[in-house]
Homo-oligomer: A and B are copies of this chain.
């Protein structure tokens, strides 16, 4: 038996076998949790999973994509948000909120999202959200939507949307928890629109 074959045998699977993808993902999750987003490299994840970095790229794409996959979100927020961004800034506050509620209020999707949010909130210094979730997943899309002072607007949008997630889904504060989506859109949509395109001091 040659040395590489022995190494493969000791891992009990062939490169590219069905469980390789799961092992890469597990290694990625461990790395993001331990080392944060910046401290994680494709090379390091590949090494921890005992595969070639090219295979990680093949399965997951960029480090951003790997991060989104590691979050185990039942939907890719970048895909969900793309049509909102494509339709431009007019009425984007309401569209953003309606899209957001459509995903979160779906009983097949919500548990996975809640688990992700709880895990992000439990991360002691909130590092993953700060370093990666908003900058990598949400920030670039919103910046495309509002090219005027996105650095000032995105945190305001984030503050209201995060507060909606926590009060409606995590804490489930009545009546926010049971409010029909149309009412949430009618009441909070104009605030998001203000944060996106209104006059900011």
Contact residues of A: prevailing secondary structure: helix
Contact residues, A151-176 vs B (CB, 8 A): 151-152, 155-156, 158-164, 166-168, 170-176
- Quick one: which of A61-85 are within 8 Å of B by CB? none
Contact B171 A126 (CB under 8 A): yes
Residue of B nearest to A168 (CB): B159
Q: How far is the CA of A152 from the CA of B171 in the complex (A)?
A: 17
- Kindly state whether residue A122 has any CB partner on chain B within 8 Å: yes
Q: Mark each residue of chain A from 179 to 201: 1 if its CB lies under 8 Å from any CB of chain B, else 0.
A: 10001001110010011000011
Q: Does A14 contact B (CB under 8 A)?
A: no
> Which B residues are in CB contact (< 8 Å) with A188?
156, 159
Task: Determine which of B155, B160, B183, B201 lies in contact with A160 in the assembled complex, contact meaning CB atoms within 8 Å.
Answer: B160
Contact residues in B for A11 (Cβ distance below 8 Å) = none
Q: Let me know if A155 and B173 touch, CB within 8 A.
A: yes
* Interface pair B187/A156, CB less than 8 Å apart: yes
Specify which chain B residues have a CB less than 8 angstroms from the CB of A168 in the assembled complex: 159
Q: Does A86 contact B (CB under 8 A)?
A: no
- Bound-state CA distance A135–B174 (Å) is 10
Q: Is A34 engaged at the interface, CB distance under 8 Å to the other chain?
A: no
List the number of copies, as a whole number: 2
A125 close to chain B: CB less than 8 A: yes
| Residue among B126, B156, B167 making CB contact with A170, cutoff 8 Å | B126
Q: How far is the CB of A154 from chain B (nearest CB, A)?
A: 9
What chain B residues lie within 8 Å of A200 (beta carbons)?
187
Min CB gap A183→B, angstroms: 8
Residue numbers in B under 8 Å from A162 (CB-CB): 162-163, 166-167, 171
Q: How far is the CA of A201 from the CA of B191 in the complex (A)?
A: 13
- What residues of chain A have their CB less than 8 Å away from a CB belonging to chain B? 121-122, 125-126, 129-130, 134, 151-152, 155-156, 158-164, 166-168, 170-176, 179, 183, 186-188, 191, 194-195, 200-201
